[in-house]
Chains A and B, each alone.
Chain A
Amino acid sequence: MSSNRNLKQEINEKLMDETLRGSLNRFAEAYPIARAKAYESVDDIDSLRNSVRDMKIETVENLEKIADQFEEQVTKRGGKVFRAKDGDALKEYLFNLCKEKGVKRIAKSKSMATEEIHLNHFLEEKGLHVKETDLGEWIISIAGHKPSHMVMPAIHLDRNQVAQYFSQELNKDIEPDIAYMVQEARIALRDEFLQADMGITGANFGIAENGATGLVTNEGNARLVATLPPIQVVIIGYEKLIPTIKDAVPILRTLPRNATGQLMTSYMSMISGAAPALVKKDGQWVEQEKELHVILFDNGRLKAAKDDKLKQIYQCVRCASCLNVCPVYTLVGGHVYGHIYAGGIGAILTALLNSMNDFKQINEMCIGCRRCTEICPGKIDIPGLIEYLRAKSVEQDGLPFGVKAVFENVLANRKVFHNLLRLASIGQKPFTTGRVIRHLPLFFAGLAADRSLPAVADKPFRDRVKKVTKKIDKPVKRVAFFSGCNIDFIFPETGESVYKVLQDLNMEVVFPEDQSCCGKPVLGMGDHETARKIAKQNIIAFEEAKADYIMFACPTCAETWHLTYVELFKDDPEWSKRVEKLVHNVREFTSFVAGEYDKVGRLTKTSGRQKVTYHDSCHMKRGLSVHTEPRQLLESAPGYDFVEMKDCDKCCGMAGAFGVKYTELSMPILKKKIDNIKDSGAEVIAVACPACMMQIQGGLDKQAPTIKIKHVAEIIAEQIKE
């Protein structure tokens, strides 16, 4: 892949591609329904996913032993095993085999590993006749495209485009009728199977116990490729190995359901050893053992197996469901990811199997919403791995000079940072209406086209603390409030509501003045060094506060404290101890208050006139696992009638800096959110995350100005009489 891609331009081209947008949109709507239906017959999806994960973790722990056993068992049954360290080694082996055996025609069934190294191109250059036989792969090979999805490689094309490519390839007029085109493909490819000297397949799993390789397909091409030609080559990545025959069960119970919403694909074949084949000798068909070559493919996989975090990629069954629910993939498709593997898992595989440079260009397209982690059969923490790889790349190559300078000199220095924000409050005046900036001059205008930007508050929360602090007699608890930048400088009213609610619960609330940004923006860029500096300032400030709880009304800050701070200092015994002591006291506001209200019987359902719906923040739902408590609070708020909206837990498109850097992607995601809010009939949209509040408020201001947005804290504070 070229290192000088214009990613923005590529993204814009995809956004303008009506065929692609329509197709991905319909798919994104249909997929979750089909998947849910396929899992109806599974009692406990979570324990099924655990069994995939656990089996794969155990395998990667013993990878060398299992690979040796696999090789031994294949060899015992008449196959040859070649371990290819990279694409060049694989190509050389394969080409020599073709020369030695006089192979001229090759039929292939789908193998992403061969896409990874552009094998077809190589073999064709060497003068061999190579045909892809999977319909989707065949279409894109005719079109000269790369696959845009692992399971549906030609999802970016419509029937008219396919008909054009078919017409070119078959030298006749092909009508854009799908059933007819499929029959034409059957006829055109039949001879490829029958005449091939060699068949090349991929594999969905390889069983160490008896050396079998498994193929999961729908069209029947893989069975033909593995049956007819006298020479069979299986190309299998190390991550596909499993210990025993029975270990195929969790893969087969999840892969078809997750990939295509099927209980089982049309064909699942397991081939162990050299199976019988028929060869023509002197005009007669004679049975003989097949020549079987199994190529175990490394190409970066073995290195990943040795990395404590990256070995998670061995839990991938290549169902591609992570793409199907990804808000960014479902907008732009797979081609912008550059290499072969698309989406979040694609970014990771690209880094490991291709190059770190390609990864750097695309990794920001993961918005960290974690929808993929909820459905991944192997429970891979895809966004977590992307952050990990990003941090590794920053560790190696550093940040761009300007970014690093800002981080070190501004974000790591609370006073400078806060003074800048105060200045911004004054500088924005000419453009501000109410809480938002509606118009921006010149080249910034694009940022505020479909979304107003939040205005920095006149007076930050830290300057209002004194006014809202009440003296509590015999407080039941002492609570230190960590506001985070958004509440401090954009939504100080939310901070006031937090104070009001907690003080009403007879708690003493304090605001440690030296608190700064939680460090998430810096962490998001992979700069752990600056993040540690910022974290230490916060830790000191909250140690001094000597509080029972540290309270958060921003799930991102809460998660950063709760999980990331621990991780940041894991190799520093002194700070690690100090962090551990504090994180036990971290509390998220809505879940904390719901618990307190429940204790005193204040959590009873009521129904009022004003319809309110709730948007789940990604960090809140999938990071902190908090989703019932804010709903309980809304249901018990007098005057409100709680309703759910469609896709309530789908990302709003903000995702930290993403929403600003990739406005063109952020806006369509936001638009869907606004449409769903409108369709719910709600007059108020409640959130529990100030970053989502910023994004959704901006969208409402431009697209549905009559709908109000409120933090849950504001809604419950309204109920409290002064």
Chain B
Amino acid sequence: MKKVSNNWKQAFPPESVGTAFFEEFAMRAQNVAAKVFRVKTAAEAQSVIAEIIKSSDAKKVVATPEVVSPLNLPTILEPLNVKLYTEQSDIRTHADTSDVGVACVEFGIAETGSVCEDGLAIEQRLITTLPPISIVVMNSANVVPTIAAAFETISKVFDRGYISFITGPSRTSDIERVLTIGVHGPSQLVIIAIDEEIREV
């Protein structure tokens, strides 16, 4: 899968990254209606995902290759009779009608409760934009305190490509300024932060 960087970790400012900022990050993300789970292992993350799939009665899931094998998604989805699409053209065909998208994000920002997505790959963006439930997986140590620290990081790796901050679910206040969740993007954003490293660097 194409990435803006294959090694975001080395770009974090060493003084300004770590689990110390996780609590504030989680609080702010929850303030904007994101659901946040912090787990220790990939196995625990699997059960969180399985629970979401079950409770939302999902039938179709799209996921990036980056997240499929470390979390072994087929083993948890097959028993639930849920279809899983992970190939690029399948993702393009099915993302719009899928119930859930699962993808990795690179880091969290405590100041705003945002997660930062490396979206160079088209499949990454299809998965985090089209299905109504968006599950993003990150490492709980990859949290920076501020927007400034986020841009310290980004400016080291961003030559070309597509980088996004995602902050809670899609929303609008365009009618009578009434906050309404879920317009064109996902109506649910679930952040799963794992303490152990699941991706190879």
Known interface pairs A223-B185, A265-B167, A272-B158. Does A285 touch B88 (Cβ–Cβ under 8 Å)? yes
- Give the B interface residue count (CB, 8 A): 54
B9 to chain A, nearest CB (A): 19
The verdict on B154 contacting chain A, using a C-beta distance below 8 Å, is yes
Q: Which of A280-338 contact B (CB under 8 A)?
A: 284-285, 287
Contact string against B for A residues 474-495, beta-carbon threshold 8 Å, 1 for contact and 0 otherwise: 0000000000000000000000
Known interface pairs A219-B185, A220-B129, A220-B185. Does A158 touch B176 (Cβ–Cβ under 8 Å)? yes
A110 to chain B, nearest CB (A): 11
Instruction: Give which listed residue, B121, B154, B163, B184, contacts A193 with CB less than 8 A.
Output: B184
The verdict on A267 contacting chain B, using a C-beta distance below 8 Å, is yes
Contacting pair A276 B160 (CB below 8 A): no
Contacting pair B167 A285 (CB below 8 A): no
Known interface pairs A23-B177, A273-B161. Does A245 touch B154 (Cβ–Cβ under 8 Å)? yes
The verdict on B114 contacting chain A, using a C-beta distance below 8 Å, is yes
The verdict on B81 contacting chain A, using a C-beta distance below 8 Å, is no
* Residue of chain A at shortest CB distance from B24: A41
The stretch among B60-68, B72-80, B89-97, B135-143 that forms the contact with chain A is: B89-97
B158 to chain A: which residues have CB within 8 Å?
210, 212, 245, 270, 272
Bound CA–CA A179/B178 (angstroms): 9
Q: Which of A240-273 contact B (CB under 8 A)?
A: 244-246, 248-249, 252-253, 260, 262-273
Contact string against A for B residues 144-188, beta-carbon threshold 8 Å, 1 for contact and 0 otherwise: 000110011011001111111111111111111110101111100
Contacting pair A41 B111 (CB below 8 A): yes
* Residue of chain A at shortest CB distance from B166: A267
Q: Which of A158-184 contact B (CB under 8 A)?
A: 158-159, 162, 178-179, 181-183
B155 to chain A, nearest CB (A): 4
Contacting pair A278 B174 (CB below 8 A): no
Bound CA–CA A271/B117 (angstroms): 12
Contacting pair A264 B165 (CB below 8 A): yes
The verdict on A406 contacting chain B, using a C-beta distance below 8 Å, is no
Instruction: Give which listed residue, A30, A179, A272, contacts B160 with CB less than 8 A.
Output: A272
Bound CA–CA A276/B165 (angstroms): 19
A223 to chain B: which residues have CB within 8 Å?
125, 129, 164, 185
Bound CA–CA A267/B116 (angstroms): 10
The verdict on A93 contacting chain B, using a C-beta distance below 8 Å, is no
Known interface pairs A155-B177, A224-B184, A264-B114. Does A276 touch B172 (Cβ–Cβ under 8 Å)? no
The verdict on A632 contacting chain B, using a C-beta distance below 8 Å, is no
Interface of A: prevailing SS = mixed
Bound CA–CA A153/B170 (angstroms): 18
Known interface pairs A178-B175, A182-B180, A182-B183. Does A220 touch B162 (Cβ–Cβ under 8 Å)? no
Contacting pair A267 B164 (CB below 8 A): yes
A468 to chain B: which residues have CB within 8 Å?
none
B4 to chain A, nearest CB (A): 9
Q: Which of B10-38 contact A (CB under 8 A)?
A: 28, 32
Contacting pair B164 A268 (CB below 8 A): yes
Contacting pair B169 A276 (CB below 8 A): no
Q: Which of A139, A223, A268 has the most CB of B within 10 A?
A: A223
Bound CA–CA A192/B160 (angstroms): 27
The verdict on A382 contacting chain B, using a C-beta distance below 8 Å, is no
A264 to chain B: which residues have CB within 8 Å?
109, 112-114, 147, 165, 167
The verdict on B83 contacting chain A, using a C-beta distance below 8 Å, is no
The verdict on B120 contacting chain A, using a C-beta distance below 8 Å, is yes
Contacting pair B184 A152 (CB below 8 A): no
The verdict on B43 contacting chain A, using a C-beta distance below 8 Å, is no
Contact string against B for A residues 142-158, beta-carbon threshold 8 Å, 1 for contact and 0 otherwise: 00000000001111011
What class of interface size applies to chain A in its complex with B? Answer: 35 or more
A626 to chain B, nearest CB (A): 35
Instruction: Give which listed residue, B112, B119, B170, contacts A263 with CB less than 8 A.
Output: B112
Instruction: Give which listed residue, A226, A268, A278, contacts B88 with CB less than 8 A.
Output: A278
A23 to chain B: which residues have CB within 8 Å?
176-177
Bound CA–CA A145/B115 (angstroms): 36
The verdict on B191 contacting chain A, using a C-beta distance below 8 Å, is no
Known interface pairs A210-B159, A263-B112. Does A245 touch B175 (Cβ–Cβ under 8 Å)? no
Contacting pair B163 A270 (CB below 8 A): yes
* Residue of chain A at shortest CB distance from B165: A268
Instruction: Give which listed residue, B89, B154, B170, B177, contacts A266 with CB less than 8 A.
Output: B170
Contacting pair A277 B122 (CB below 8 A): yes
* Residue of chain A at shortest CB distance from B178: A178
Contacting pair A181 B175 (CB below 8 A): yes
B170 to chain A: which residues have CB within 8 Å?
218-220, 266-267
* Residue of chain B at shortest CB distance from A42: B111
The verdict on A227 contacting chain B, using a C-beta distance below 8 Å, is yes
Bound CA–CA A186/B154 (angstroms): 32
Bound CA–CA A220/B170 (angstroms): 6
The verdict on B190 contacting chain A, using a C-beta distance below 8 Å, is no
Contacting pair A246 B166 (CB below 8 A): no
Q: Which of B109, B130, B175, B182 has the most CB of A within 10 A?
A: B175
The verdict on B40 contacting chain A, using a C-beta distance below 8 Å, is no
Contacting pair A275 B165 (CB below 8 A): no
B103 to chain A: which residues have CB within 8 Å?
none
The stretch among A129-137, A536-544, A554-562 that forms the contact with chain B is: A129-137
Instruction: Give which listed residue, A183, A190, A269, contacts B96 with CB less than 8 A.
Output: A190
B28 to chain A, nearest CB (A): 7
A393 to chain B, nearest CB (A): 36
Known interface pairs A139-B174, A210-B160. Does A267 touch B165 (Cβ–Cβ under 8 Å)? yes
Bound CA–CA A693/B89 (angstroms): 72
A267 to chain B: which residues have CB within 8 Å?
164-167, 170, 185
Q: Which of A27, A153, A178, A220 has the most CB of B within 10 A?
A: A220
Contacting pair B183 A185 (CB below 8 A): yes
Bound CA–CA A77/B129 (angstroms): 24
Q: Which of A9-28 contact B (CB under 8 A)?
A: 23, 26-27
B155 to chain A: which residues have CB within 8 Å?
244-246
A41 to chain B: which residues have CB within 8 Å?
111
The verdict on A221 contacting chain B, using a C-beta distance below 8 Å, is yes
Contacting pair B167 A266 (CB below 8 A): yes
Contacting pair B151 A189 (CB below 8 A): no
Bound CA–CA A193/B111 (angstroms): 32
Known interface pairs A135-B174, A159-B175. Does A77 touch B89 (Cβ–Cβ under 8 Å)? no
B65 to chain A, nearest CB (A): 14
Bound CA–CA A134/B183 (angstroms): 9
Contacting pair B171 A219 (CB below 8 A): yes
Contacting pair B177 A182 (CB below 8 A): no
The verdict on B54 contacting chain A, using a C-beta distance below 8 Å, is no
The verdict on A657 contacting chain B, using a C-beta distance below 8 Å, is no
A178 to chain B: which residues have CB within 8 Å?
175-176, 178, 180
B160 to chain A: which residues have CB within 8 Å?
77, 210-212, 272-273
Q: Which of A353-379 contact B (CB under 8 A)?
A: none
The verdict on B199 contacting chain A, using a C-beta distance below 8 Å, is no
Task: Give 11 A-B pairs besides A224-B185, A262-B32, A285-B93 with Cβ atoms closer than 8 angstroms.
Answer: A23-B176, A135-B172, A136-B174, A183-B182, A186-B184, A246-B152, A267-B166, A268-B165, A270-B164, A276-B2, A277-B122
The contact sample of 18 A-B pairs, CB cut-off 8 A, is A152-B177, A159-B176, A193-B184, A219-B184, A221-B184, A227-B129, A246-B148, A263-B167, A266-B32, A266-B166, A267-B170, A268-B165, A269-B163, A272-B160, A272-B161, A276-B122, A285-B93, A287-B88
- Ranked 3 nearest A-B pairs via Cβ: A220-B185, A136-B174, A273-B160
